[in-house]
Amino acid sequence: MWCKKCEKEVYSDVCDTCGSTTLKDIPFEVYWCNHCKTPLIKRANDNSKKICGLCGGQTEYLCSDIRPVFPEERLLIELLLDCPMKYSDCSVWASNNKYYFDGVTKNIPLKLFADADTPMLIQGLNQFKEKNTYSSFDKHIKTFIRANSDRLDYIRSEAYSFIRDTASNYPSENTVISFSGGKDSTVVADLVVRALEKPNLVHIFGNTTLEFPLTIEYVHRFRKNNPKAVLKIAKNKEQVFYDVCEDIGPPARMMRWCCSMFKTGPITRVINNLYKEKQILTFYGIRKYESVSRSKYDRVSSNNESVKIQKQTVAAPIFDWKDVDVWLYILSEKIDFNDAYRLGYDRVGCWCCPNNNERAQFLSKVYMPEEYSKWRDFLVSFARKIGKPDPEIYVDTGKWKARQGGNGVSASEDIKLKFTNCTAEDNAKIYQLNKPITDSFYSLFNPFGIVSKELGRKLIGEVIVLDPYFTYHRIKSIAFRSLFQ
């Protein structure tokens, strides 16, 4: 929070120096010092945003958020642009497909990723591997850390006090860290363990069976480097992803059955087994800048009516952090992280997720060619099976991600439930039931999330199913409305 009068960061609604009310939602932005060749994280209303704290020179606005580009990704982009090692001494940063080389913007068109000659790129990566060192990168990161030390001090101590405050109502044996192997939960695990000085907390890793090999390697390293942490692995051992795909078709953006089946379901089972009826507190790495729907959620939320997990409170210590803050913390504190980020992935969920962007698809083609072609072959044969005229184009242009119904899928012919589309709302279906809705009916939806009657609009008999465990995907809700209760 920001005190306008004192022009400084404060931790509460009232400034501890002057007593005036503080401002909450002043965004942080990224400025560039061309002398130090480094990004500076500054409040949009901070008068000093135009001056570099290191050299005193003028800064200029760069963008709203940014991530570092590691030497591995830099080389791949250079190969794509046909200029290997050209930017090896530069300070290189990116947001989405926009790259900044020493502060100069370069957009990489998506077509360049889609049309890339990947075998040539792989050859180039091997050819320059030895030459492509971290010496220049490390030098630029040192400057970045020095230039943003105030920001680090603020976000770190603010997160510490949030964590201590939130955890004070729970015994430490009922405190859980949700750990995905991604950068956000890596930071949360580190913050919580340090703030509470409890290295032996329970960490739950949901292995979706669709993780990057680098994520699994990182989790193994994490276990080795944090011998006191109790690491529980949640995994669906009954189902095989490809078998389910054969049966009901691949997941699509609007039909991400894989999340509940391979991620949230197994995590819920582990938590229920460990804690049964106990009140628990889960820290997780959700951030509001990840998606629009997340921005509406609170930093701490509890739902005592929940059926799925009895009495759970979830808390997000880095809710307000930007990507650049997460990297500032990881690189300053020198904590180990998932190597997939070095290659250029900006999120490390399941490698076949229909929510992954074109760049992630391109990276998988380069770094996981076997898995990539197995998955593509499956998608092409699926497209053929459901009668798509150009199955390869349907797959390569990403149209499979937009699939909505079960047309052509064998399981859909064996109809147990019929629905009509709702005309008033997108993505809503109308089912006619032959019995009144009871609590046991709602309990059938427990695998999808927390069944909450409290959150729904009572007047129309609305019941909402919420899933608070997503680390990579948008929070999902299913709403039931019944006019005859």
- Please identify, using beta-carbon distances, which residue of 68 and 251 lies nearer to Zn ion: 68
Closest CB 152 distance from Zn ion, rounded Å: 17
- Please identify, using beta-carbon distances, which residue of 52 and 214 lies nearer to Zn ion: 52
Dig out the tokens for 376 from the structure: 């593509």
CA–CA dist 185, 267 (Å, integer): 15
Contact 389, 380 (CB under 8 A): no
Closest CB 251 distance from Zn ion, rounded Å: 47
Closest CB 28 distance from Zn ion, rounded Å: 18
Beta-ladder partners of 438? none
Closest CB 480 distance from Zn ion, rounded Å: 57
- Please identify, using beta-carbon distances, which residue of 51 and 335 lies nearer to Zn ion: 51
- Please identify, using beta-carbon distances, which residue of 50 and 311 lies nearer to Zn ion: 50
CA–CA dist 317, 391 (Å, integer): 45
- Please identify, using beta-carbon distances, which residue of 55 and 81 lies nearer to Zn ion: 55
CA–CA dist 439, 480 (Å, integer): 12
CA–CA dist 23, 390 (Å, integer): 55
Question: Taking phi first (over 0 means left), then psi (-120 to 50 degrees means alpha), and beta for anything else, what does residue 248 get?
Answer: alpha
CA–CA dist 168, 162 (Å, integer): 10
**What's the chain's length in residues?**
485
Contact 168, 300 (CB under 8 A): no
Closest CB 98 distance from Zn ion, rounded Å: 22
Beta-ladder partners of 230? 202
Closest CB 103 distance from Zn ion, rounded Å: 11
Element holding 137 (H helix, E strand): helix 135-147
Angle between helices 183-196 and 323-333 (to 10 degrees): 60
Best CA proximity match to 261, nearest among 245, 239, 242: 239
Where do contacts with Zn ion occur on this chain (CB under 5 A)?
33, 35-36, 52, 54-55, 57
Angle between helices 358-367 and 369-385 (to 10 degrees): 120
Closest CB 31 distance from Zn ion, rounded Å: 10
- Please identify, using beta-carbon distances, which residue of 189 and 328 lies nearer to Zn ion: 328
Residues 6+ apart with CB under 8 A from 348: 180, 181, 182, 183, 211, 212, 214, 215, 338, 340, 341, 472
Closest CB 57 distance from Zn ion, rounded Å: 5
Count the helices and strands in the chain (H runs, E runs). 17, 20
- Please identify, using beta-carbon distances, which residue of 51 and 475 lies nearer to Zn ion: 51
Element holding 75 (H helix, E strand): helix 71-80
Closest CB 58 distance from Zn ion, rounded Å: 9
Closest residue to Zn ion, based on beta-carbon distance? 52
Task: Count the neighbouring beta carbons within 10 Å of the beta carbon of residue 196.
Answer: 17
Residue type, 224: K
CA–CA dist 433, 441 (Å, integer): 11
Closest CB 147 distance from Zn ion, rounded Å: 7
